[in-house]
């Protein structure tokens, strides 16, 4: 009986060995799979944290860019107001100098009043009583008119600003700030999303003030307005012109960005 069981036990021992080894291999594989799953989970967590950090940094950069743009706009507003003030002061000094020279060298008749001492229409009338003279209606100072219009633009009061700039151009069509006024009319219309009218305003600037220092900005913003109107090919022409003609200007840099990689 013992002899008969011995072969069976030997067979069972031979089979049990590989089964035990296979079990150990399976256990190792399970451990490896569990380890990999843990590593994947860790990687996913790290990726999510990185995405959150990137989003936070993007928001921070956007806020900083917005603050920098506002500071730049405020600086431009102050520069515009200062230039307008200086120009107005120069104009007033020139007028005072001219008036003083005219008074100093005005001829006078001996023994009687000088005809030059009476403003036109203020002397005694001949052949009857003269009614009270009416003082000429004075125009608002250019500095005040321009500064007020620009302040309305900066506050987003585009309709009022356009009226102010148009009034400035009507009363002072040939000053150092006339081209600026025409440019800001286009900016106001662009801000109101009236892109066709904005393009026309900047075309007027290009036509009437061909030597203006606002030309690079005007042509770049004209390109943006054309893009808003779906006229991409025409916008690219404007960008290319600004990038080639004014490469070192801020408008030239922005134009190259709109053109994309060349």
Task: Render pLDDT for 176-233 as a digit per residue (tens, 0 to 9).
Answer: 999 999 999 999 999 999 999 999 999 999 999 999 999 999 999 999 999 999 999 9
Mean pLDDT of the chain: 77
pLDDT band, residue 48 (cuts 50/70/90): confident
pLDDT of residue 135 exceeding 50: no
pLDDT band, residue 244 (cuts 50/70/90): very high
Task: Render pLDDT for 110-120 as a digit per residue (tens, 0 to 9).
Answer: 333 333 333 33
- Token output for 221: 């913003």
> In the prediction, which pLDDT does 10 show?
60
pLDDT band, residue 132 (cuts 50/70/90): very low
Decide which of 136 and 29 is more confident: 29
Q: Give the best-scoring range by mean pLDDT among 4-13, 16-25, 91-100, 234-243.
A: 234-243
Give the pTM.
Answer: 0.51
pLDDT of residue 101 exceeding 80: no
pLDDT of residue 31 exceeding 70: yes
> In the prediction, which pLDDT does 104 show?
34
125: alpha, beta or left? (left if phi > 0; alpha if psi -120 to 50): beta
Decide which of 122 and 210 is more confident: 210
Across the range 95-103, mean pLDDT stands at: 43
Burial label for 245, CB within 10 Å (0-12, 13-18, 19+), is middle
Q: What percent of the chain has pLDDT over 90?
A: 44
């Amino acid at each position: 009986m013992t002899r008969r069981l011995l072969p069976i036990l030997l067979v069972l021992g031979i089979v049990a060995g590989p089964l035990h080894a296979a079990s150990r291999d399976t256990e190792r594989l399970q451990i490896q799979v569990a380890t990999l799953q843990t590593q994947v989970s860790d990687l996913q967590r790290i990726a999510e944290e990185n995405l959150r950090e990137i989003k936070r940094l993007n928001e921070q950069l956007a806020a900083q860019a917005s603050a920098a743009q506002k500071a730049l706009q405020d600086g431009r507003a102050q520069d515009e107001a200062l230039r307008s003030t200086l120009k107005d002061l120069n104009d007033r000094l020139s007028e005072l100098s001219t008036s003083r020279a005219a008074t100093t060298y005005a001829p006078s008749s001996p023994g009687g009043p000088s005809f030059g001492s009476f403003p036109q229409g203020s002397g005694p009338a001949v052949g009857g009583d003269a009614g009270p003279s009416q003082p000429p209606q004075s125009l608002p100072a250019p500095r005040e008119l321009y500064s007020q219009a620009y302040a309305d633009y900066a506050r987003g009061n585009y309709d009022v600003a356009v009226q102010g700039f148009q009034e400035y151009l009507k009363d002072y069509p040939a000053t150092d700030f006339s081209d600026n006024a025409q440019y800001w009319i286009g900016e106001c219309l662009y801000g109101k999303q009236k892109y066709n009218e904005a393009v026309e305003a900047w075309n007027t600037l290009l036509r009437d003030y061909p030597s203006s220092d606002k030309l690079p900005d005007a042509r770049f913003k004209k390109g943006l307005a054309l893009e808003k109107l779906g006229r991409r090919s025409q916008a690219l022409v404007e960008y290319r012109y600004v990038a080639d003609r004014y490469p070192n200007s801020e408008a030239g840099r922005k134009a190259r960005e709109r053109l994309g990689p060349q």
